[in-house]
A = this chain, B = another copy of it.
Amino acid sequence: MELTNTILHLFPKLNEAISKDGINILKHSQQITIPEGTTIFHQGDQCLNYLLVIVGSVKVFTRAENGREIVLYHISSGGSCVLTTSCLISSEDYPVEGVTETDVVALAIPKPIFEQYMAESKAFRKQVFHSYGDRLIKLITLVEEISFAKLDIRLAKYLLENGSVNTPIRTTHQALATELGSAREVISRQLKEFENKGWVLLSRGKIEITNHDALANLLAH
């Protein structure tokens, strides 16, 4: 079955859980498809499933009272939602929202099955813990970047990671501000500066990289 292979490829630990521990994940979980732009969880939601993302990407962010937002991390193929997992275990509220950025295919493992797997399979536990560790590192890295790195560096990094000379980035300055935890005007100014230097070409909803090396040079220090 095609899906099985995809899943095993994305979650190597689960492969072990299935082969060694006789865990039949596919049988007891449900494959779900979620359209782009769906809020899959927000503060106060109760969570009844352990979610593994097979295809697509989920944006996890938090919002200040004044409406400003910052993206905490993305869950993409091969990732799982540790916050809902925490909910699963400790039933606490989390001050964050999760929204699908693309159409998403996910595997939902119901809470009782999740707990059974946790008890029975060391490989499954490893997979779950690994997700936790990943998120912790991502969050710590985010804290570091927010508090230490200058915006031009972080912006250049984002541009290089999300586009290249022939593949323009389709996003708004506002979305970028949210991604980097800054303000739209600041991003606009910075991008304009990059444009003046001939490093990018700006148009509504699109950023084209015109000088990759110059941007990369910023990162190199």
Interface residues of chain A, those whose CB is within 8 Å of chain B, are: 62, 64, 66, 68, 70, 72, 82-83, 85-86, 89-90, 92, 94-96, 115, 118-119, 122, 125-126, 129-130, 132-133, 135-137, 139-144, 146-148, 181
Contact = CB atoms under 8 A, between A and B. Distances in A.
A95 B130 CA distance: 16
B95 A133 contact: no
Given A115-B122, A129-B86, A130-B90, A64 B144 contact: yes
Contact of A62 (B86, B96, B132, B144): B144
A35 B130 CA distance: 32
Contact of A135 (B90, B94, B126, B136): B136
B92 A140 contact: no
B64 A140 contact: no
Given A95-B141, A125-B118, A86 B147 contact: no
Given A130-B89, A137-B92, A140-B94, A68 B148 contact: yes
Contacts of A66: 148
Given A70-B144, A92-B137, A95-B137, 10 more contacts: A62-B140, A64-B144, A66-B148, A70-B147, A85-B129, A89-B129, A90-B129, A92-B133, A95-B141, A147-B181
Contacts of A90: 126, 129-130, 133
Given A64-B144, A95-B140, A133 B70 contact: no
A129 B146 CA distance: 27
Given A92-B137, A94-B137, A86 B132 contact: yes
A191 B141 CA distance: 29
B62 A126 contact: no
Nearest to A68: B148
B143 A72 contact: yes
